[in-house]
Structure 1
Amino acid sequence: MKRQSQTGFGIIELMIAITLGIVLSGAVIQVTLASQRSQRVLEAVSQLQESGRIAVSFLTRDLRMAGYMGCPNLERIPVNVIAKTPPSDLNFTAENVLIGQDNVSAGNAYSAVANTDIISIQRAVTPAANLTGNMATNNANIQISSNPAGLGAGDFVFITDCINADLFSATTVSNGNGNQITIAHASNRNITNKLSKIYGSDAEIMGFQSLVYFVRDSGRTTPAGNAIHSLWVQARSLGNGAAPIATELVEGVEDMQITYGEDTDDDRDIDAYRSAADVTDFSAVLSVRIELLMHSLDDNIIGSSGEFVQNSLSFNGAAVASDQRLRQVYSTAVAIRNRLP
């Protein structure tokens, strides 16, 4: 029986197969890496959009309510403050319910990032409650049927009927037995226990709140060691009369710059947008323009060349240095409702 010879791969065929395998493997690796990189970029973009939207939402909601005190406004009805030794964040006048600080220095009172802006707001808190009892004298403890704002002892409280307005410190707030909640305004926490008038059932009762928005270092870093900045708010909460507490709201807010639309000739129209340092009268500010510089929370999102390159970005009049994090600018303008024509 004749035997057939068998032959295998030669060295040349083997080298060609290895080369083709390396090329194909390299192509697969490149496609996989590009896909992963694209996914990281998409996630970074999504994070920036979500964080920017939330930050703008917080600021817009509170800024438009600066100086709110129910149906009247401070131009028509000044608030009669009878609270004894009110704290520094309570100065409810037209000049102080909206105040800005421009390009703050390091070591400021809020530990805000140097050269960022700070904005302070004062307003009444809704929902309001209506006066329901003890309406015979102006020094009586006022009564309401419900407490939707969660007012407590030590809180600062507005009462207004759109003709007059008082702001006092609540000495006690009952728990609502018998569907009546009693709020006392005794002279131990107030200059006097007398309100400016005897209010009727048309009067509304609301809490007072102060808020300060600023950008602060979160204390956290990215894997590459880059600092993560966040938007913070220092707010006076209701319920126990506690001092304002700083709370981190949105991470990834690198910088905040604010300009103020000022009516300089009292015609109820904005004449110029100015930085806080250049505003001559904050009571004449009708609108606020906010710009936020957002940064991604991951490193190595963008490169110096190739597909994932971010065009040069300018913020606050200067080019933004790149550290391979993705950045985006969000801006909005907010009208102050109580100052609209």
Structure 2
Amino acid sequence: MRRNLGLTLVEMMIAMALGLFVLGSVLGVFVASSSSVSHTGQYNQLQESARLALRLMKEEIAQAGFWGELTGDSLNLGSVQVLAAVGNDCIGDGDNNGSLPGQRGHFRFLWAYRQTASPKMTCAQEALEGSHVVQIKRAMGPAQDIAGLDSNRYYLLANASRGVLFAGDTLPVPTLTQGRYWEFQHRVFYVERRDDGVPVLKWRQLYVNGGMVEEELVEGVETLQLRLGVDSTGDGAVDSYILPDLLSHEQWEGALTLVSVSLFLVVRGVEADPLAQQTLALTLPDGTLSFDDGIPRRLFSATVMLRNPVLSLRGQL
């Protein structure tokens, strides 16, 4: 009679133990690999978010105070006729700190401050405290043909001696001898926390319909700060870096030569990461920020040279 072959109970237990060991090892490798992929993905996203945010801000700041043919002059009611008004405007501290030039004071085409419990700008009430709010006003190129004007935008028509600021729906469209049409834009950058708790970089930009309209730009930007590079000797080089809040109203309104702006961004991931540094301290111009929530963060910085560096009283009424 033929004997049946099979595994004994001991052999089955040994096989099961070996199988569980192998399965545990495989699962351990899978979990570690998955965590590593998630970790790498979050940091890649940080890099991409920072790259986009810095590119947007650098482009705006570099062109601050560009007025087409009037570049180098301060926009004021002596040289520029204003044929428009702005509803839901974004008004900041100072005598002449709205979207369009006013009756008195230096027209601030570049201005920034540190957000506190008492915001200094009407349109950035929800900006995160400790972060900076930055506004930029400029003409945007290329020059427009009269037939291509957008009724929902504002425009600066300028020649070498004078200009006209008007809304794109103005009829008849203003004209100037040897004048060119440039889109006129006022943008305010700030950081705000969404309802889901994730911080985002936003701006408000100028439209005819709606005034200063809020738009979300980049997710994960948690802090925005900057320093102003000041030339105090007239040689075109930076002699010192100053925080915006250290400048008095008189300095903002008076002769001040800004050569560059240094930007600092803290960008974070969307969730905690066990592989990230659990406690973190980042040193920014306005102080050190500490974190202990395990969410990955990095500090990014860039310096922008100003195309039109002089803030002065030239041409002020």
Q: Distance in 2 between matches of 1:129 and 1:329?
A: 39
Which segment is superposed worse, 321-330 or 21-30?
321-330
Alpha-carbon offset, residue 311 of structure 1: 8.0
Q: Which residue of 1 aligns with 2:93?
A: none
Alignment of 1:157-168 (within 5 A): 157-162=155-160, 164-168=161-165
TM-score (norm 1): 0.74
* 1:337 alignment partner, SS class: coil
Change in 2 beyond 3 A, CA 1:184/1:208: same
Q: Which residue of 2 aligns with 1:234?
A: 204
Contact 2:140/2:182 (<8 A) preserved? yes
1:262 aligns with 2:259: no
Q: Distance in 1 between matches of 2:202 and 2:44?
A: 21
Change in 2 beyond 3 A, CA 1:86/1:272: farther
Q: Distance in 2 between matches of 1:235 and 1:253?
A: 19
Q: Which residue of 2 aligns with 1:183?
A: 173
Q: Which residue of 2 aligns with 1:120?
A: 135
Q: Distance in 2 between matches of 1:6 and 1:242?
A: 87
Alignment of 1:1-341 (within 5 A): 3-6=1-4, 8-75=6-73, 80-83=79-82, 88-91=98-101, 96-105=108-117, 109=122, 110=124, 111-129=126-144, 144=146, 146-147=147-148, 149-151=149-151, 156-162=154-160, 164-170=161-167, 172-173=169-170, 182-184=172-174, 199-200=176-177, 202-220=178-196, 227-237=197-207, 240=208, 242-279=210-247, 281-282=251-252, 283-297=256-270, 299-303=271-275, 309=277, 312-316=280-284, 317-339=287-309
Contact 2:272/2:295 (<8 A) preserved? yes
Contact 2:228/2:243 (<8 A) preserved? yes
Alpha-carbon offset, residue 19 of structure 1: 1.5
Letter in 2 for 1:292: L
Alpha-carbon offset, residue 78 of structure 1: 5.8
Q: Distance in 2 between matches of 1:287 and 1:230?
A: 25
Residues 13-51 of structure 1: CA distance to partner in whole angstroms, max 9, x if unpaired? 233222211111110110111121122112212211111
Letter in 1 for 2:33: S
Structure exhibiting the larger radius of gyration computed from Cα positions: 1
Q: RMSD of the alignment, in Å? A: 2.9
Alpha-carbon offset, residue 247 of structure 1: 0.5
Change in 2 beyond 3 A, CA 1:309/1:30: farther
TM-score (norm 2): 0.79
Q: Distance in 2 between matches of 1:170 and 1:9?
A: 89
Contact 2:228/2:262 (<8 A) preserved? yes
Aligned residues: 286
Change in 2 beyond 3 A, CA 1:11/1:166: same
Any gaps of 5 or more consecutive residues in structure 2?
87-97, 311-317
Contact 1:55/1:250 (<8 A) preserved? yes
Change in 2 beyond 3 A, CA 1:151/1:264: farther
Letter in 2 for 1:83: V
Contact 2:273/2:294 (<8 A) preserved? yes
Q: Distance in 2 between matches of 1:333 and 1:99?
A: 16
Change in 2 beyond 3 A, CA 1:41/1:77: closer
Residues 128-151 of structure 1: CA distance to partner in whole angstroms, max 9, x if unpaired? 236xxxxxxxxxxxxx4x32x525
Alpha-carbon offset, residue 262 of structure 1: 1.3
Which segment is superposed worse, 39-48 or 94-103?
94-103
Contact 1:264/1:284 (<8 A) preserved? yes
Q: Distance in 1 between matches of 2:110 and 2:22?
A: 64
* 2:263 alignment partner, SS class: strand
Alpha-carbon offset, residue 230 of structure 1: 0.2
Q: Distance in 1 between matches of 2:168 and 2:56?
A: 31
Alpha-carbon offset, residue 106 of structure 1: 6.4
* 2:201 alignment partner, SS class: strand
Any gaps of 5 or more consecutive residues in structure 1?
131-143, 175-181, 186-198, 221-226
Letter in 1 for 2:150: G
